[in-house]
Amino acid sequence: MTAMSAPITASAGVSRRAPPYSRHQTSAFEAVRLHTVTSWPALARCPAIGDPDSACAVGLVRVEKRHIARREYRLIRPWTRRFEFTYLHGIAWRDVARAPKFARVWHLIAEMCDGVDFIAAHNADFDEGVLRACCARSGIAVAELRFECTVKMARRALGIYPTGLAVVAARLGIPLDHHNAASDASACAQIVLRATRGESDRGTGGRWANDGSPTRRAPYATRPRAK
């Protein structure tokens, strides 16, 4: 069993309990599909600048037994006042000047990830790098975290190319306010649910609900605006 499979806990930072599957035996994809794993979060973040430790917002969606059980969104005050990506996510220094720093938001992230066996993200290597860099800058020690990439799930399980989040969401009929961390995390969770049902995007003709079943609308958390 590798350390990368150890789940986070809100109290101690990392739980040492053994996960119900091995990285070398069963993938997270198969574990969710076979209901071996029933709880996992999807995560998305917005950077202020190109440095990975400059997160200015984070969105998290927790899935329990194939239903979205909780959504959280927080603005984060990064270490820099310089913002290069306001044109993408709409967040500027004035929006986060009084927001908490990452260290004060970490307890929420840990709580949302408490007892889970993996974290889903679109382009997971990047999101993992951002999370680790923010933890390092804040002096937060975390064990190896298991990230699973919805880019790979979209390719392998749904046959979607290209696999940018906006493209995948459009193909699956998932509502998306791209670069809004709350909406990105919600879309990521929906991709996992769709992929683990083994269904393609062809012939759906509508949007998909929290459990992956067809519906007219699948609402996501909207980004709160700083006053």
Q: What is the residue extent of each domain of the chain?
A: 3-215
Note the pLDDT tens digit of each residue in 121-176.
Answer: 999 999 999 999 999 999 999 877 889 999 999 999 999 999 999 999 999 999 99
164-170 long-range Cβ contacts below 8 angstroms, 24+ apart? 165/122, 168/122
Is the pTM value of this prediction over 0.75?
Answer: yes
Classified by CATH at the fold level, domain 3-215 comes out as: Nucleotidyltransferase; domain 5 (3.30.420)
Q: Find the mean pLDDT for residues 93-120.
A: 95
CA distance 176 to 218: 10
- What is the pLDDT confidence band of residue 199, given thresholds at 50, 70 and 90? low
Residue 196 · residue 38 · CB < 8 Å: no
CA distance 17 to 220: 32
Q: Residue holding tokens 């997160």?
A: 55
Q: What are phi and psi of 214, to 5 degrees?
A: -65, 140
| 54: its two tokens | 């400059």
